[in-house]
Chains A and B, each alone.
Chain A
Amino acid sequence: MNQDKLETFTLDGQPIPFSAGQTIIQAAMAAGVYIPHLCFHPEFKPHGSCKLCTVKVNGRQTASCTYFAQANLVVESNITELNDERRALLQMLFVEGNHFCPSCEKSGDCQLQATAYELKMMSPHFDHFFPDRPVDATHPDYLLDFNRCILCSLCVRASRDVDGKAVFALSGRGINSHLIVNAESGNLVDTDFSSTDKAAHICPVGVILKKRVGFAVPIGQRRFDAQPISAQPLSKEDV
């Protein structure tokens, strides 16, 4: 890539080249710079809902996964003000669901957890909701543990846009938002979901889990045990 031909913006003072149509987070990732994010995934259209990727563009806050890069923008990301707000968002996600990491199959591979480590979330800070969200274990190969859903919609997008199905959807509004599956019974077994679906492998947290492979890799030897999330941008690992 001939960087001289590319225009740049600055991210925390560092010039970041971009090509037309790239969002700020895409350009940053391509340059190997980490911006915290949860609902963004390089293979999918942005959803812009989690707000973890919020940066300041010329002094104003905006989601970097939905904002197109433009020449000479001044973008701030790794600053105390934004990291404090990101940590508060994470804390709200943790207390809204039931996140008992020690008994979660995703622990160590989980983006929510790894992002919380990155942002030094030492406590949940808020009072816990402890919601009642029954697990759906009806499907022979997969289970859904809704207790950990962060409503990122990646499974919705994967099922709709890649698998050509519509197994998942977000339903309800505000605090009542929740993930549903496309079956009259409400059970995964009654959908056309299959283990070869993209949607079966996209969940960044421990909701959509393959059965009978639990703890194949011991806790302590998993992806984010090796290196923090900021040192292994999603684009390199997952694309």
Chain B
Amino acid sequence: MSELDKFAPSPLTPLPQVGEGNEVKKLKVATTSLAGCFGCHMSFLDIDERLLELVKLVEFDRSPLTDIKHCGPCDIGIIEGGLCNAENVHVLREFRANCKILIALGACAVNGGLPAQRNHLSLATILEEVYHAQHGLVDGFIPNDPELPLPLDRVHPIHEVVKVDYFIPGCPPSGDAIWKVLTDLLAGREPELGHGLIHYD
């Protein structure tokens, strides 16, 4: 028995091995970046050639990788970034409504991260500083185009708004940590990050 097999099965049924003549229904995965920097997505790409392994097992729905604009029914949703504006909340709810398993990927999704460091300041103060008061701004105005999503008064981690099934902390989490959680889930194991893979920095 391998080190990994001792954990309880996850809600996913293990995928059969892909082999000749064995038509496997691929799992659907959606990803998005909310109030994040795309660093977690870059780290996801850091699984390198294992991506080829992964695309044998999954297909991507809404994701910056596919440019599909809305999330359909999915097995796994991966959220990078916290919630800093109203649109973030809509996207997060769309993911939660469509994904059987929702994963918070990275520090910002897990605890608000760097954007949440504005939380001790009032939104008005920040907008004033950025658009009016800062040195070098002449006739600055606070953007109010109706197309622009309204900022929230505070940045929130995603678990404060929807139920989140799994968390991968880190800024960003390593490609290895992401790979470990995904392969655990795909194999029907409860994801587990050991020493060196669990990191908050």
Contacts and interface: CB of A to CB of B under 8 A. Distances in A.
A130 B119 contact: yes
Contacts of A102: 107, 113-114, 171, 200-201
B120 A124 contact: no
Contact of A101 (B164, B167, B192, B201): B201
Given A99-B111, A130-B154, A123 B200 contact: no
Contacts of A201: none
A45 interface: no
A107 B114 CA distance: 15
Q: Which 3 A-B pairs have the closest CB atoms?
A: A102-B171, A101-B200, A132-B120
A175 B131 CA distance: 36
5 contacts: A101-B201, A117-B200, A128-B111, A132-B120, A227-B195
B157 A128 contact: yes
A120 B104 CA distance: 15
Contacts, number: 75
Given A124-B110, A130-B119, A108 B195 contact: no
Nearest to B110: A123
Interface residues of B, number: 30
Contact of A122 (B107, B119, B157, B167): B167
A120 B111 CA distance: 16
A124 B107 CA distance: 11
A98 B120 CA distance: 10
A107 B107 CA distance: 13
B112 interface: yes
B159 to A, nearest CB: 6
A55 B143 CA distance: 56
Contact of B167 (A94, A99, A123, A133): A123
Nearest to A101: B200
A169 to B, nearest CB: 24
Contacts of A131: 120
A120 B169 CA distance: 11
Interface string B176-201: 00000000000000001101101111
Interface of A: 94, 98-104, 107-108, 113, 116-117, 120, 122-125, 127-128, 130-133, 219, 225, 227-228
| Overall SS of chain A's interface | loop
Contact of B160 (A128, A132, A227): A128
Contacts of B113: 100, 102
B166 interface: yes
Contacts of B144: none
B89 interface: no
Contacts of B157: 124, 128
B195 A101 contact: no
B121 to A, nearest CB: 8
A100 B167 contact: no
Given A100-B113, A117-B195, A123-B167, A107 B160 contact: no
A194 to B, nearest CB: 30
A123 B159 contact: yes
Nearest to A103: B114
Contacts of B91: none
B117 interface: yes
B116 interface: yes
Nearest to A222: B201
Contacts of A120: 192-193, 198
Interface in B83-121: 104, 107, 110-114, 116-117, 119-120
